[in-house]
Structure 1
Amino acid sequence: MSSEVRGSVKWVEKGQFIGKVEPGRCSIVLGDGGISPMKLLLLGVAGCTAYDVVMILQKMREPIEGLEVEISGERREEHPRMYEKVHLHYRIYGNVKDEKAKRAIELSQDKYCSASAHIKLSGAKLTYSYEIIKS
């Protein structure tokens, strides 16, 4: 079964747009004075996998205390300027076991994170690294 997502983007002025996704009351400024759509795409990937990793580690009963995901991407020079390479760096806080952290990241990247799957399907090479910062 598929689920539908609806949203809209409204031109405000010059190169500025306001985007909204339903349901919800959240909106985002795109373009001038806001975030570019391609940067937003990267943040979507980072947010998707961050959510997965936290949920998976909690289900594993690992003592995760915090998580930061840094993401970088390299785009093609020619149009469409798609991402060719994307790298994620996970910074996991807490006394999490190394093998559990690695497994949670692999599950996110190989099974659960739909945003990462879209990046990979576009032909981009997605890599990751991680570190565990013990408390």
Structure 2
Amino acid sequence: MQITAKWQGGRAFEAVGASGYKMAMDATSNYGGNGQAPTPTEMLLSALAGCIGIDVTMILKPHLEKITKLDIVVDGTRREEMPTAFTAAHLTFKVDGDIDAHKVWRAIKLGEEKYCAVSASLKADITHSLILNGENMPFE
């Protein structure tokens, strides 16, 4: 896999991969950017959510018609010193629908431990929680 990131001036870059979709990135004003696009670290957490989300929906494919909402909130913790790498990421899955918590937990664990290339590429400690129909569901 290859992407090319082209400098757009200032601290902004536009990346494109084999899919042909363009992804803009910029730094915050703290780092000399204009904040006109997501930061690379925001994109990294977004990629984590998207990757495991795709895996979860693939695993839950037979049950998707019963799911009315699947949101993933990622809270990342970073080192204070440079490089300010992520040391931890907590993913909260907010799911509504007529589905058993055990099935959702199974999909989350399989997604992260077996299929998600992004989580496998991070050195961060990744944890999860599940809120099903507004109720915290302990891991089974």
Aligned length: 126
Distance 1:126 1:87 in 2: 6
> Pairwise CA RMSD of aligned residues?
1.7
CA, structure 1 residues 107+62, in 2 after alignment: closer, same or farther (shift >3 Å)? farther
Q: Which has the higher mean CA deviation after the structures are superposed, 125-134 or 5-14? A: 125-134
How far residue 19 of structure 1 moved from its aligned partner, in angstroms, is 1.0
Q: Taking CA–CA contacts closer than 8 Å with sequence separation of 6 or more, which of the two structures ends up with the larger relative contact order? A: 1
Scaled by the length of structure 2, the TM-score of the pair is: 0.83
Q: Where does 1:1-16 land on structure 2 (aligned, <5 Å)?
A: 5-16=1-12
CA contact (8 A) 1:49 1:109 kept: yes
Query: In the aligned structure 2, how far is the partner of 1:58 from the partner of 1:77?
Result: 40
TM-score by length of structure 1 reads 0.86
| 1:75 aligned onto 2:78 | yes
Task: State the SS of the aligned residue for 2:95.
Answer: strand
Is 1:16–1:30's contact at 8 Å kept on the other side of the alignment? yes
Partner of 2:128: 128
- For structure 1, which runs of at least 5 residues remain unmatched after alignment? none
- State how 1:20-35 maps to structure 2 within 5 Å: 20-24=16-20, 26-31=21-26, 32=34, 33-35=36-38
Distance 1:44-1:23 versus aligned 2 partners, 3 A rule: same
